[in-house]
Amino acid sequence: MAKKWSRLLQNLMTNTMQLPQDVMMDLPRITMIGQIHIYIENHRGLLTFSDREVRLLLKQGQLLIKGKSFVIKTILPEEILLEGKIDAVSYLNE
């Protein structure tokens, strides 16, 4: 019941104060430029990195990025810029 009220309050504040949902609900913001760049904000850490796969921890679940020739261009505590050929981006609810 408390979770339901919390979500209702978040939605009310988001709509009333016109704040982005990703900020209020602690969701990741993902920006892709074609298949060559992906910028992810509001993640909780890098779990796995190889030239073909990147796995990021989110508040709820994980983000899996698959492709080729990955290079981390920028990494900050809650932001990452990845470059390479991106084939798939998946949300894992585990």
DSSP assignments along 47-73, one per residue: EEE-SSEEEEE-SSSEEEEEEEEEEEE
Q: Residue 72 and residue 83: Cα distance in Å, rounded? A: 6
CB 67 within 8 A of CB 87: yes
pLDDT at 19 over 60: no
Q: Residue 42 and residue 34: Cα distance in Å, rounded? A: 21
Instruction: Indicate the pTM of the whole model.
Output: 0.75
- The full set of domains in the chain, from first to last, is 26-92 (2.60.40.2000)
Higher pLDDT, 6 or 58: 58
The pLDDT of residue 26 is: 77
Q: Residue 50 and residue 48: Cα distance in Å, rounded? A: 7
